[in-house]
Amino acid sequence: MHDPASLLVHRILVVVVLVSVMATILESVPALAARFSILFHALEIAALLVFSVEYILRLWAIVDHPPLSRLPSWRARLAYACSPSMVIDLIAILPMAFTLMRPSDFQVLLILRLLRFFKLARYSPGMRSLLEAIHAERRALLACLVILGGVVVLAAATMHFVEGQVQPEKFGTIPLAMYWAVITLTTVGYGDFSPVTGLGQFVASIVAIAGLVMLSLPVGIIATSFAEVIHRRDFVVTWTMVARVPLFAHLDAGEIAAIMRFLRSRVAEDGEVIVHKNDVADSMYFISTGSVEVELSDRRVRLDEGQFFGEIAILHRGRRTATVRALEATKLLILDRNDFDTLMEQNPEIGARIRAVARSREGVHPVEPEGDLSSEELR
């Protein structure tokens, strides 16, 4: 997913989704629909073709996906087609297909066309993390919804009792009063339904305060779960990056986690030089997000998310082999040699295992004599 071709395809698909949704929104304006009808229709056809090709290719290639590779081809494709993301992809296609069959009903499936906005969840790690957080706390959120429903009914019944005789057209029945209760508890307060008696205003004040408490519950639940999902994902990504380094590949999970505690972060802007050639090398770098370019004397090498450079620097104090420059906004995780030495002193077993691996790798030569880059890092 980190190669340039995949990133380009994903970015093109995101642009198509955004343009398609924006065109659908603008088409609801009669003046724009009359003036640019041909353009809107062309954009919808183009989106249909792009989404259809994407859907077919995903469905075709899913048989090679490890979790489904053991199933028969038809079962793997059927299971994948029933997944939430593929259902959304199908919904993104169907409205235009129906429109082509019945051109006079072009606006009938407007809402379904707008649902394709949720295709962005496939390409946005942040949106996926939020959906994962909501799914993880679905029981707690359902409990909040049940409690909110009970408070709505209780508030509506109380207001019906207090204001029903005074304003029968607004609070004469509990269902009528439930509309007021929902609007008040959600702190929206349109003002079209409001109590006029002193007791009614007191009840409304209590309900409004209760609304603040009720809204804070799901917000707090989702925020906490979202933070946990992000932390867990960052931990897994960082753990994978550290475990990929040949020097640390033989360590167990606990030992790699110990190394992770010494990592510090740095953000490099587009074009910023991260290290200069011939500088003293005393740190190694992991690319958490973004990409960098290693400017060697005979070539330039691009390193992307998940890769690392400067492994030799934490074993032997040498010189930087090359200048490394950020190609975009890049988040780096840095392991300093001093912190690495401290880790091995505090954890003799880890130190012994790393030294053993280092001795076994003495035949691995740097790209340049006494440099900090090995050929393994530039593959």
Residue 341 has pLDDT above 80, yes or no: yes
| Residue 164 sits in the same domain as residue 112 | no
pLDDT at 362: 54
| Residue 118 sits in the same domain as residue 179 | no
Any domain includes 171:
yes
Residue 87 has pLDDT above 90, yes or no: no
pLDDT at 101: 59
pLDDT at 156: 92
Q: Give the amino acid at 42.
A: A
Residue 37 has pLDDT above 90, yes or no: no
CATH number at residue 314: 2.60.120.10
Q: Which of 81, 96, 123 is the last residue of a domain?
A: 123
Region 49-72: mean pLDDT is 80
Q: Which of 207, 230, 253 is the last residue of a domain?
A: 230
Q: Give the amino acid at 32.
A: L
| Residue 264 sits in the same domain as residue 354 | yes
| Residue 220 sits in the same domain as residue 281 | no
Any domain includes 371:
yes
Q: How confident is the model at residue 161 (pLDDT cuts 50, 70, 90)?
A: very high
| Residue 249 sits in the same domain as residue 360 | yes
CATH number at residue 163: 1.10.287.70
Any domain includes 239:
no
φ and ψ of 144, to 5 deg? -60, -40
| Cβ–Cβ under 8 Å, residues 335 and 263 | yes
**Residues of the chain above pLDDT 70, percent:** 86
Any domain includes 93:
yes
| Residue 43 sits in the same domain as residue 86 | yes
Q: How confident is the model at residue 160 (pLDDT cuts 50, 70, 90)?
A: very high
Q: How confident is the model at residue 366 (pLDDT cuts 50, 70, 90)?
A: low
Q: How confident is the model at residue 4 (pLDDT cuts 50, 70, 90)?
A: low
φ and ψ of 275, to 5 deg? -135, 150
| Residue 218 sits in the same domain as residue 312 | no
Residue 314 has pLDDT above 60, yes or no: yes
| Cβ–Cβ under 8 Å, residues 88 and 118 | yes
Any domain includes 130:
no
Residue corresponding to tokens 């649902």:
115
Residue corresponding to tokens 């709505």:
152
| Residue 103 sits in the same domain as residue 41 | yes
- Provide the domain count of the chain: 3
The mean-pLDDT minimum among 59-68, 70-79, 169-178 falls in 59-68
| Residue 188 sits in the same domain as residue 305 | no
| Residue 28 sits in the same domain as residue 109 | yes
* Mean predicted lDDT score pLDDT of the chain: 82
Any domain includes 129:
no
Instruction: Give, in degrees to the nearest 5, the angle at Cα 306 between 300 and 307.
Output: 35
- Within 62-165, where are the H helices? 73-81, 84-101, 110-114, 120-123, 125-136, 138-163
| Residue 17 sits in the same domain as residue 64 | yes
Range of the domain at 64: 4-123
Residue 94 has pLDDT above 90, yes or no: no
| Residue 27 sits in the same domain as residue 112 | yes
Any domain includes 128:
no
Q: What is the pLDDT of residues 243-302, one digit of tens each?
A: 878 778 778 888 888 888 888 888 999 999 998 888 888 888 888 888 899 888 778 888
pLDDT at 69: 66
d(CA 163, CA 250): 74
Any domain includes 131:
no
Q: How confident is the model at residue 150 (pLDDT cuts 50, 70, 90)?
A: very high
Q: Which of 123, 146, 174 is the last residue of a domain?
A: 123
Residue corresponding to tokens 């409001």:
194
Q: How confident is the model at residue 187 (pLDDT cuts 50, 70, 90)?
A: confident
Strand spans (E) along the chain: 264-268, 273-275, 280-281, 283-289, 291-295, 300-304, 308-309, 318-319, 323-326, 330-336
d(CA 258, CA 194): 60
CATH number at residue 52: 1.20.120
CA Rg, the chain, in Å?
A: 29
